[in-house]
Amino acid sequence: MFACLRNSRASLAQVCSLRAYSRSSPVMAGPLFGTADSAATPAEPDDTRPSAMQGLAELVQSAAEQEQDAAALPATLLERLKPFKAGKFVSPNHLSREHRIQRIERRPKEPTMGPGRKEAQAFDAFRKLDIDPLDEYKNAVLLRSFVSEMGKIHSRAKTGLTWRSQRRVGKAIRRARAMGIIPLWNQLERRQVGRALYVSTILY
């Protein structure tokens, strides 16, 4: 009976010591159940865990470097090398990267807004000559320059007129379309200019 109590006390002391080791450090070695001498000796740290963490850190760093290289790839695709022409003299500075790279020039976008007030007043021919655009609804040649090939009225960003002249030019174009002087869905062709002038002078 006393021997059983001794064994139970030894196993209880071993479990308590193992719990203390588990709270202090995550690494624990040794058998779970054994003699009291094995429970009294502290567990030696394992060297495999730091090496595994170091390998994981290197893996994460390599993945981050690959992402950076993939992000920088589209910028290099925009660069093209200038070809060498046969029979042309090449100086040493022509072999440099700045001279060899042929960069693609992007086409500038058209401005979405029109010019400012002072710039439009200086550019507007109707304002300079004191001409009302609405009175020129019968002038098919003049209205032709303010209409695109598909019959769309050009915006103020392309015409460069003032707000007043732009509004009255639009009214003149719509009036000329309603009267049949200029076509509705396309631009007035050059062969139709004579007919438009004839219609505007005879009928109206």
pLDDT digits (tens, 9 = 90+) for 90-142: 888 888 877 777 776 777 777 778 888 999 999 999 999 999 999 999 888 88
Instruction: State the alpha helices, DSSP H only, in the chain.
Output: 2-24, 36-40, 48-77, 97-100, 117-123, 125-128, 140-144, 156-159, 163-179, 193-202
Task: Please report the pLDDT score of residue 41 as a whole number.
Answer: 52
The CATH number assigned to the domain holding 186 equals 4.10.640.10
Check residue 8 and give its pLDDT: 47
| pLDDT score, position 2 | 44
Range of the domain at 157: 132-202
Question: In this structure, is residue 80 part of a structural domain?
Answer: no
In a domain, 148, yes or no: yes
| Residue 156 within a domain | yes
Instruction: Give me the sign of the Cα torsion angle 169, 175, 181, 186.
Output: positive
pTM check: above 0.75: no
Segments of the chain with pLDDT less than 50: 1-10, 12, 15-16, 18, 20-36, 38-39, 73
Instruction: Indicate the DSSP class of residue 201.
Output: H
User: What's residue 72's pLDDT?
Assistant: 54
